[in-house]
Amino acid sequence: MPLVSLPRSVGHSDDMAVGDARNLPFVSIVLPIRNEADHIGACIGRLLDQDYPHERMEIIVVDGMSDDGTRARLRELQATSRHVAIRVIDNPAMIVPTGLNLAIQAARGDVIVRMDGHTTPAVDYVSACVAALRTSGAANVGGVIEPTGLTPMGEAIAIVTSHPLGVGDAKYRTGGAAGNVDTVPFGAFRRDVFERVGLFDESMVRNQDYEMNVRIRRAGESIYLDPAIRSVYTPRSDIASLWKQYLQYGWWRVETLRRHPGSLRWRQAVPPVFVAALVVLALAGLAWPLAAVGWLVMVGTYGVLVAAVALRRRSDRATPARIALAFATVHVAWGAGFALNVLSRGRYPYRSQPPRVPALQPATRGDRAPAADS
């Protein structure tokens, strides 16, 4: 189902006449969360401040059985929301893809905006997404996320996860011109794309967004990045949680590769190659001095590159040592996760499962929002 024709000024509330609201698509914002008591207020608060017409929006929160006070906070937000419906659905499986699928099945909109509990979107986030869908013709659009750390280590992690040395050519992290890309975070999807390619793969605990975008691109559709779509993201605040996160990213990227051979990007291949080279050269160096020299050259070159960035981007809280540690954690954890999956054939430390891609169930007319031109 194509989107209705949208005015080019849709991203600017001052230019959007109240009477034009009926010509805009209904938007369902889906939010899979678990234990987000500290962040959910800022996220939903900003969603309630969107400049998109509130009568053309709904928020669906899918909660993974939170036990930290998140549900109580959600009840408060529901009680104070006067114009935007906030629905809360249980997600007993407690993983993101099942939460996304429950929300999409319940959604009334022709546009599905995927949001994250650690994210605070700009006030024009929804209108910018709808405008980008119209102008690009893409099936999924997204923007640039700005990481903002809450702790000294969190600030260092924010620097690393927005720098090309840390994340390669991922434009949604480093910025760049508008255009087609391989993936975007917190995408805004045309609903009809799920009818074509299915819902999120529920066997993918991580990397489910990238796997979905591979299917969308292979169906002949495009993924579009528009830097006008802006949000602030709170990254991990300590090295232990960063290590776990990137170990999972690397491990589950192999699962996407198993499903879609040829989908690996160069930025995703570098960490496992780097880790493998370090291990091979270190072991070979025990018997072959030249290999030990190669290991020293590799580590020394890496250290110089990291030090150069750390010294240039440092701050009072994000010291060079913290930045360097965050770089090493991101690279080694991602590469180690990738290698562990390959070497264990998907058996350690997580468990590979066959793909589970549910179909989008057809909604009855009463389950859908009124059409834009009704």
Q: Find the mean pLDDT for residues 250-279.
A: 95
Q: Does residue 232 share a domain with residue 121?
A: yes
Same domain, 193 and 132: yes
User: Using CA atoms in the order 145, 150, 152, 156, what is the torsion angle rounded to 10 degrees?
Assistant: -10
- Residue 45 maps to a domain: yes
194 and 92 in one domain? Answer: yes
Query: What pLDDT was estimated at residue 6?
Result: 44
Whether residue 223 has pLDDT greater than 50: yes
Position 373 scores a pLDDT of: 56
Strand partners, 362: none
Instruction: Return the pLDDT at 371.
Output: 65
Residue 221 shares a structural domain with residue 320? no
- Give the pLDDT band of residue 3 (cuts 50, 70, 90): low
Question: 316 and 232: one domain?
Answer: no
For the segment 103-148, what is each residue's pLDDT rounded down to a tens digit? 999 999 999 999 999 999 999 999 999 999 999 999 999 999 999 9
Dist. CA 130–CA 113, nearest whole Å? 9
Asked if the model's pLDDT at residue 17 lies above 50, the reply is no
Instruction: Give percent of the chain above pLDDT 70.
Output: 91
pLDDT value of position 21: 76
Task: Give tens-digit pLDDT for 24-83.
Answer: 999 999 999 999 999 999 999 999 999 999 999 999 999 999 999 999 999 999 999 989
Write down which residue in 203, 237, 271 finishes a domain.
237
Higher pLDDT, 17 or 271: 271
Q: What CATH number is attached to the domain comprising 225? A: 3.90.550.10
Same domain for 290 and 204, yes or no, is no
| Residue 12 domain-assigned (yes or no) | no
Would you say residue 239 has pLDDT above 70? yes
Domain membership flag for residue 306: yes
pLDDT reading at 178 higher than 70: yes
Count of domains forming the chain: 2
189 and 275 fall within a common domain: no
Q: Which two tokens stand for residue 158?
A: 């924010």
Q: Looking at the domain assignment, is residue 246 inside a domain?
A: no
Give yes or no: residues 209 and 166 share one domain.
Answer: yes
Question: Quick one: 37 exposed, middle or buried, by C-beta within 10 A (0-12, 13-18, 19+)?
Answer: middle
Residue 47 placed within a domain: yes
Contact between 209 and 103 under an 8 Å Cβ cutoff? The reply is no
- Report the pLDDT value the prediction gives residue 23, as an integer from 0 to 100: 86
The pLDDT, as a whole number, for residue 68 is 94
111 domain-assigned: yes
Is 262 found in the same domain as 227?
no
pLDDT at 259 over 60: yes
Which pair of tokens denotes residue 133?
């869908």
CA–CA dist 332, 285 (Å, integer):
20
**Chain centre distance of CA 43:** 15
- Same domain for 233 and 264? no
Residues 65 and 163 in one domain: yes
Average pLDDT over residues 254-262: 96
74 and 123, same domain (yes or no): yes
* Alpha carbon distance 245, 242 (integer Å): 5
In the block, which residue shows the tokens 């975008």? Answer: 213
β-strand 111-114 against 188-190: which pairing, if any?
antiparallel
- Is 202 within the bounds of a domain? yes
**What's the chain's average pLDDT?**
92
Q: pTM for this structure? A: 0.91
Domain range for 264 is 257-344
Over residues 158-170, the pLDDT tens digits come to 999 999 999 998 9
Please report whether residue 66 resides in a domain. yes
